[in-house]
């Protein structure tokens, strides 16, 4: 099997398949397997996968187990509502962990290096994908350096601007109009860290600001997101650090002080895509952001990609024990994953609208959040809970018992 893309989704899928005895080659366009960006939130639907892959202990060793997810007003600074994370292992079969993206990728990379049937190939930018004839089956890819690779199946895990996705979709990514500045700093360099062990999200009209500790509390992650009015007005200077400061002028003292230490070297426009109803073309299939890029408001991008990899490996293993039909296995994989990922994509858009509400909608949202029972998990349980096959377990019974009427 060939996997195009050596990010978290690609290496997670490689490890899941390699541990099941499949020969896997991962083609990564970058000269090294590295991850840019900053912090990453791993909910129980992801940590269960990491536990199954045998790497969760390494993740826990370098990550942080936060106490709560907290929503606060970016304007007043007042807490609106929270979600206790400390019993998630009991409720959902996996903890809630925050970790630097590069730390998670390094853990997955080292685990893949330990599998003799996984071949990692950096510096291999795929430029063309050719299905082989029906008699031979499989897929051939050509790389920018002229090399070719052939396998019985191809997985496109090559991100938002996926080359493999063009086999099934010619559409373009959708720009949300929002821009992010983000990064992790040594804790002592942060202008205004919070004093809690929480993931804090300060939400407000057209903006939000996120803070939480990383890497055994030695780093601190900060993300500032704002709607670019300059982009809406058609200006060329949209999304600049100057517009960042302008957008947060209404924010409370804590957020504006914290903003002074945000990393400003690069802007990150926020994109997603419309959900697809098909990820497969012959023996090629999509995974992660190549299949279902989503906005960040539910912190589910990497989580869903890890679930994809586990589901794909399971479908291929079941096919190997049965008919051996690779295309049928790819169909089974996408049938399992398309529905749940599409729901998360759509829900993330709605959640972003709620975070960034203004006027009357903002006031109504804040009233609801302040009145919300912190033990109410109706909105997260469908995403975090165990898959249907495990619903009879004690973990899912605990979820039902803690969630009230669902």
Catalytic residues: 212
Query: What angle do helix axes 101-113 and 8-18 make, rounded to 10 degrees?
Result: 30
Cα 103 to Cα 152, 175, 198, 219, 222, distances in angstroms: 31, 28, 20, 12, 17
Neighbours of 314 (CB within 10 A): 17
Residues 6 or more apart whose CB falls under 8 angstroms from that of 345 comprise: 272, 273, 275, 292, 293, 294, 295
* 3-class state of residue 115 by DSSP: coil
The secondary structure of residue 21, as a DSSP letter, is T
Which long-range contacts link 363-370 to residues 24+ away (Cβ below 8 Å)? 366/73, 366/80, 369/71, 369/80, 369/81, 370/80, 370/81
Q: Which residues pair with 119 in a beta bridge?
A: 25
């Amino acid at each position: 099997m060939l996997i195009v893309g050596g990010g978290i989704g690609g290496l997670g899928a490689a490890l899941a398949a390699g541990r099941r005895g499949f020969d896997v080659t991962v083609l990564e366009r970058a000269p090294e397997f590295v991850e840019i960006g900053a912090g990453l939130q791993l909910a129980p639907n992801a940590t269960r996968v990491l536990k199954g892959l045998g790497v969760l202990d390494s993740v826990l060793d370098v990550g942080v187990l936060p106490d709560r997810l907290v929503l606060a007003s970016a304007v007043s600074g007042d807490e609106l509502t929270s979600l206790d994370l400390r019993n998630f292992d009991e409720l959902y079969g996996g903890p809630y962990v925050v970790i630097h993206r590069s730390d998670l990728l390094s853990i997955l990379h080292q685990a893949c290096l330990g599998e003799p049937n996984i071949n990692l190939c950096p510096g291999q930018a795929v430029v063309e994908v050719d299905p082989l004839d029906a008699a031979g089956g499989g897929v051939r890819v050509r790389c920018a350096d002229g090399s070719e690779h052939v396998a019985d199946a191809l997985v496109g895990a090559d991100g938002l601007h996926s080359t493999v996705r063009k086999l099934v979709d010619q559409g373009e990514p959708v720009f949300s109009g929002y821009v992010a500045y983000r990064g992790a700093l040594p804790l002592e360099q942060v202008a205004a860290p919070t004093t809690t062990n929480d993931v804090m999200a300060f939400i407000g009209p057209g903006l939000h600001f996120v803070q939480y500790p990383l890497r055994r509390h030695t780093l601190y992650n900060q993300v500032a997101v704002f709607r670019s009015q300059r982009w809406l007005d058609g200006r060329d200077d949209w999304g600049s650090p100057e517009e960042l400061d302008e957008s947060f002028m209404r924010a409370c003292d804590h957020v504006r002080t914290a903003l002074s230490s945000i990393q400003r070297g690069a802007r990150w426009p926020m994109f997603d895509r419309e959900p697809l109803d098909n990820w497969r073309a012959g023996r090629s299939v999509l995974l992660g952001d190549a299949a279902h890029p989503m906005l960040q408001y539910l912190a589910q991008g990497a989580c869903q990609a890890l679930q994809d990899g586990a589901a794909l490996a399971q479908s291929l293993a079941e096919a190997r024990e049965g008919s051996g039909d690779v295309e049928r296995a790819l169909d089974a994989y996408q049938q399992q994953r398309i529905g749940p990922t599409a729901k998360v994509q759509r829900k993330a858009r709605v959640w972003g609208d709620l975070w960034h509400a203004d006027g009357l909608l903002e006031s109504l949202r804040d009233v609801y959040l302040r009145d919300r029972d912190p033990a109410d998990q109706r909105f997260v349980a469908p995403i975090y809970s165990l898959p249907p096959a495990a619903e009879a377990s004690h973990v899912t019974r605990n979820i039902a018992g803690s969630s009230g009427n669902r």
